[in-house]
Amino acid sequence: MARYSTATYSDIDLDLTKLNDGDVQRDTDIDAVSNSIQNIVETMQGSRRMLPEFASQVYGLLFEPMDEVTEAYIGQGIIEILRRWDNRIIIERISVNFNPDNAHAVGYYTIHLNYILRSNPSIQSIKFILRQQ
């Protein structure tokens, strides 16, 4: 039996969670947009063979000195890539914070992004981590 939804936006669940019928769970509306944001930011240069310009430059910055300057460059890079590839959102605020990981001799950045969905005026928030791969 087909499932129909009144969702404005739809995307597959990033965890690829399977439903009882074997189909992959769908995320809708705000969850779907959050998936899109994370996918756009985490797409590395060259990984989309048929659309090479669809890529974020932030991964190159993960190998730069981990300081406030790099935090600012990462934040600006995220804003630019999202403005280019997702016109459904208006970015309200972005926070990028370096977190040392002494156990693995590397660090990672925690990204907090507040945005407004153009179809829903309430402020939404997403948090994710960028680390060297």
The DSSP-derived string for 46-71 is TS-TT-TT--BSHHHHTTS--SHHHH
pTM of the model as a whole: 0.79
Dihedral angle of Cα 88, 25, 44, 111, to the nearest 10 degrees: 60
φ and ψ at 68, to 5 degrees?
-65, -35
Residue 79's pLDDT is what? 95
| Complete domains list, the chain, with CATH | 30-131 (3.10.450.40)
Instruction: State percent of the chain over pLDDT 90.
Output: 32
- Residues of the chain with pLDDT below 70 are 1-7, 9-17, 19, 22, 24-29, 101-106, 133
